[in-house]
Amino acid sequence: MDILIQRDGGVLTIALNRPDKKNALTAAMYQELADTFFEAEKDASVRVVLLRGNGGAFCAGNDLEDFMKAPNTDHDAPVLQFLRRISSAPKPVVAAVTGVAVGVGTTMLLHCDLVYAASTARFSMPFVQLGLCPEAASSLLLPRVAGYQRAAEKLLLGEAFDAQEAVGMGFVNRVLDAAEVDAFALAQAHKLASLPASSLRLSKSLMKSADAAAVAHRIDEEAGHFGTMLKAPEAREAFQAFFDKRKPDFSRFD
C-alpha cells in the first residue's frame, strides 16, 4: 500500500509508503490523502494528524510518469482536493521530515502546524525549473513566512536547501538527528492530543482565519496557471529533458 494509516490514541499517522520512488505522489495517493483528511476531520476520536514518509524520504513531489499520463488539473482533481483539505484542516497537523521534500513535499508543510526535520533533510521547490509555477498557495504563504527575498530565491531558482535554512525561513520548528525525528514528532503529536480538543481547534482557527479565504483563492489561482503552463512548450521541454536525463534548453522560448 502506498499510504499507510495508523491510529495511536488520538493521533492518526499518515505514512507515505513508496520508498522506491522516494514517496513521490500519484493521483491515487492524492485522493487517499484527501479522503483521509476528510475522515479525520469528521472523526471525534482523532485529535491530531501526523504526516511522515517511509524509507528515509518524506516526499519527492509528483510522480512525473503518473502525472504525465493523466495530468488531472481540473477543479476537483485529487491533488486539489488534498491541498484544500490540508490547508483547511481544523485539527493540528504535525509533520516529520526525513530525506527529500521536493515540490509539494515542501509546500504542503506550509499548511502544517508543527514541522520537525532531520538534519539530513533537503527541501526544494523546482516549479520554475519545470516551466511551471508555484502551487499549494506557496506563492502567498512562503513570502509571508520567510520574507519576500528568501521566498523569491527558493521559488524562482528552485535550488535545494537544508533543514537549518528551513528553520531560519520559519516553516520548520526544529532540526533533529534523522533517527530521532519520527519519535519526536509523534511525542509532540501526543502532547497536542492530550490537550482540550476544542481549545486546540479554536486556537488554530483564530491563527489561520485571517488568511483562510486568501489561501483558498490562491490555491485555485495557482492551479489555473499551472494547468495552462503544463501545456506550454517550456514545460514539455523540461519534462522531456527529465525523461531523457539531460539539461533542458529554454533558450529558444521567449
Report if residue 193 sits inside a domain: no
Please give the Cα distance from 204 to 78 (Å, whole number). 25
* pLDDT for the residue numbered 72: 64
Residue 114 CB: number of other CB atoms within 10 A? 19
Percent of the chain exceeding pLDDT 70 equals: 98
* pLDDT for the residue numbered 71: 65
pLDDT at 70 over 80: no
Name the band, by pLDDT with cuts 50, 70 and 90, for residue 67: confident
Report if residue 214 sits inside a domain: no
Cα within 13 Å of Cα(149), Cβ side: 0
Q: Coil, strand or helix: which one is 25?
A: strand
C-alpha cell at 202: 479554536
Report if residue 72 sits inside a domain: yes
The string over 199-220, giving b where at least 16 C-beta atoms fall within 10 Å of a residue's C-beta and e elsewhere, is ebeeebeeebeeeeeebeebbe
Write the CATH number for 97: 3.90.226.10
Please give the Cα distance from 181 to 116 (Å, whole number). 7
Report if residue 239 sits inside a domain: no
Q: Which residue(s) pair with 97 in the sheet?
A: 117
* pLDDT for the residue numbered 7: 97
pLDDT at 69 over 90: no
Report if residue 184 sits inside a domain: no
Report if residue 251 sits inside a domain: no
Report if residue 172 sits inside a domain: yes
pLDDT tens digits along 183-234: 999 999 999 999 999 999 999 999 999 999 999 999 999 999 999 998 899 9
C-alpha cell at 151: 521566498
Provide the pairing of β-strand 11-16 with 122-124.
unpaired
Expressed as residue numbers, the domain containing 154 is: 3-179
Whether the Cβ atoms of residue 76 and residue 30 lie closer than 8 Å to each other = no
Distances (CA, A) of 160 to 98, 136, 157, 178: 14, 18, 9, 18
* pLDDT for the residue numbered 174: 98
Please give the Cα distance from 200 to 205 (Å, whole number). 8
* pLDDT for the residue numbered 110: 98
Q: Coil, strand or helix: which one is 101?
A: strand
Q: Total domain count for the chain?
A: 1
* pLDDT for the residue numbered 200: 98
**Dihedral sign (CA 148, 151, 152, 155):** negative
Report if residue 39 sits inside a domain: yes
pLDDT tens digits along 211-222: 999 999 999 999
Average pLDDT of the chain? 96
* Residue corresponding to grid cell 492530550: 194
C-alpha cell at 195: 490537550
pLDDT tens digits along 74-100: 888 999 999 999 999 999 999 999 999
Whether the Cβ atoms of residue 204 and residue 113 lie closer than 8 Å to each other = yes
